[in-house]
Amino acid sequence: MTTFTSERVSEHLTRIITPCGVCMYLAEGTQRAALMDTGFGFGDLRGFVESLTDKPYVVLLSHGHMDHAGGAGQFETVYLNKRDWKLEQWHATRERRVWDVRHGPGGMPEGVTDDDFLPSRTEPYLPMGEEDLFDLGGVTIRPVAVPGHTMGSLVFLIPEDRVAIFGDACGENTLLLFAESAPIAAYREGLLHLREFEGQYDTVLRNHGNFRSPKQILADNIELCGDILNGTDAAIPEKFFAQEGRLGRPKDHPGKAGNILYDPNKKR
């Protein structure tokens, strides 16, 4: 099957890319390492990680969706915000992951079969929140809670590298149309909270698309939340799989980095 690939993105951080166009990040300090997210859960991610580092490591999940938590079953020590524990149990099943990849935009990657998908995790997760600081030795990971995409969504700050991994919490097509998503008003509060940490990073990384966004994406999505709440956004009908939503800005929006696809019935 197709293998993972990797590339260095900062002094302590390596990006691991899967054949589905979703990525994970491996941070390495002098004492230990941390893998942030696990993709859809096909292929030997654990073996690939251990080819990149010989240090002991933990796994930190940004949220409980299948394309981030799907490979968690390969690892012993895995942290996830408690607010997403129930979500992960139904969202990241093996059957659901196979279906989602097969019917996703790119279809099943070449060389990948149903048999390559790993069993779902059955061991309990360890809780993770803003009170936790992961010291890897010379580099730290600080989770910041940004409920929105899911109620347990976290952004990972790596101050030593001036990096923030926004993941799916704030992006160029932020998905807020799910049953497990927060209303727009609550999401805006989460983004305002994230803004308190702006002095600790210059680079914004994500897990989809081109894996990087300009720093202004946070301000742009805060502004868009206000427009949605005021009813002055574009509110363009848009589907994600079978779910109907509204797109806050046109897909082509020069000068603005962020966008939000939301449920019009969940503004407040």
Q: Is the pTM of this model over 0.95?
A: yes
Note the pLDDT tens digit of each residue in 174-201: 999 999 999 999 999 999 999 999 999 9
Distance CA 30, CA 212 (A): 26
pLDDT of residue 234: 98
pLDDT of residue 255: 92
Note the pLDDT tens digit of each residue in 75-129: 999 999 999 999 999 999 999 999 999 998 889 998 899 999 999 999 999 999 9
pLDDT of residue 2: 59
- Identify the burial level of 64 via C-beta atoms within 10 angstroms of its C-beta, where 0-12 means exposed, 13-18 middle and 19 or more buried: buried
Domain boundaries, the chain: 5-262
Distance CA 82, CA 102 (A): 29
CATH topology of domain 5-262: Metallo-beta-lactamase; Chain A (3.60.15)
For 79, the token pair is: 């942290």
Note the pLDDT tens digit of each residue in 19-78: 888 999 999 999 999 999 999 999 999 999 999 999 999 999 999 999 999 999 999 999
Q: Is a pLDDT exceeding 60 seen at residue 1?
A: no
pLDDT of residue 242: 85
CA angle 123, 124, 127 (to 5 degrees): 150
Distance CA 141, CA 158 (A): 5
| Lowest mean pLDDT, pick from 168-172, 175-179, 214-218, 239-243 | 239-243
pLDDT of residue 56: 98
Residue with the larger pLDDT of the pair 19 and 170? 170
pLDDT of residue 53: 98
Distance CA 127, CA 85 (A): 9
